Amino acid sequence: MAQINFGGVVENVVTREEFPLEKARAVLKEEVVAVLGYGVQGPAQALNMRDNGIHVIIGQKSGSASWDKALKDGWVPGKTLFSLEEATERGTVIQYLVSDAGQMLTWPKLQPRLKKGDALYFSHGFGIVYNGQTGVVPPDFVDVILVAPKGSGTSVRANFLSGSGINASYAVHQDATGHATERTIALGIAVGAGYLFPTTFENEVYSDLTGERGILMGALAGVMEAQYNELRKHGHSPSEAFNETVEELTQSLIRLVAQNGMDWMYANCSTTAQRGALDWRHEFRKAVEPVYAKLYQSVLSGEQTRIVLAANSAPDYKQKLEVELREMRESELWQAGAAVRSLRPENWKS
């Protein structure tokens, strides 16, 4: 493992240089990786592994939209595409990539089909950490492991195709075979990780649930709405309000932050922006610290899990979700966004 200094804290990470694809192939040469679920992470991880020469099969409910997607991606019924139950029986590594609520519903059918020495693989520790609510309690004769790419399935596939890879965390919850760690790292490399950093199932879940409710999605959408609405309240046009709130961030600044860091951004903006940003940074941090404390405790207590499982298991969840998304989509903010995106140079008609 390579030792990397993260702001004064030294961590061990695994890179593709020290654990190359050839080694991963050797570790996995006798494995049949059954990818259960073909929704968010399933397609990207399965296609990346297939492209990397790993023996992969898919488990998915026949007749579903995801089954049809698997067919379009070249998976063949009876050869590489099976029901969830049959794929579990055929696999030696069971990648449990159905939704969190889906795991709770399918586990009773799949658990009896696990075999001694199998690896039960997750990309999110939700089902295991909150097993008092999900019922996902693995038998003691299987490895229980995790590789969690730090990005959407779309990014996992796109980064793989570009050759860059994506960061991922990994964890071993239960080592029944004595080879769980090597298996986990090999699978991480096979699905396209650029480097892997160690975690635990608990830490992965707590950070992931906090992050997606916070800066990655919930907080990002909320502060965008607040700024846009304030600008519109004072007479700024939708175009101006959207550009100052979303477009400049997503099309310019965040890319530079990703490449060079926030301090570089502060050092390379106008002195007016620099001084104001440095001062108001602390105001925003103080304002949201109590919100983050409340959020983290809600994750830690399992309250967020209860809400998710209850909502996502409801028969009318998709209909209610569409109402919420339509409200966002049809808001002036995101209608303005659609108009601004259409004006980007790549969308100009010749």
CA 18 – CA 24 distance, rounded (Å): 11
- Residues 6 or more apart whose CB falls under 8 angstroms from that of 283 comprise none
By the 8 A CB rule, do 105 and 127 touch?
no
Task: Out of 55, 124, 236, 282, pick the active-site residue.
Answer: 124
Distance of CA 122 to the CA centre of its chain: 12
Per the annotation, the verdict on 124 as an active-site residue is: yes
- Beta-bridged to residue 341, according to DSSP, are none
Q: Give the phi and the psi of residue 2 in degrees, each rounded to 5.
A: -90, 140
Burial group, residue 267, by CB count within 10 angstroms (0-12, 13-18, 19+): exposed
Provide the token pair at 176. Answer: 């029944």
By the 8 A CB rule, do 167 and 192 touch?
no
CA angle in degrees (0–180, nearest 5) for 142-43-57: 50
Query: Is 82 in a helix, a strand, or coil?
Result: strand
By the 8 A CB rule, do 92 and 117 touch?
yes
CA 246 – CA 72 distance, rounded (Å): 35
- Among residues 95, 320, 115, 326, which one has the least CA distance to residue 190? 95
- Among residues 44, 63, 46, 64, which one has the least CA distance to residue 55? 46
Q: Where are the alpha helices (DSSP H) in the chain?
A: 21-27, 42-51, 65-72, 84-90, 100-110, 126-129, 131-134, 153-162, 180-190, 201-213, 218-233, 238-242, 248, 254-260, 262-267, 271-301, 303-313, 317-329, 332-342
Active site residues: 124
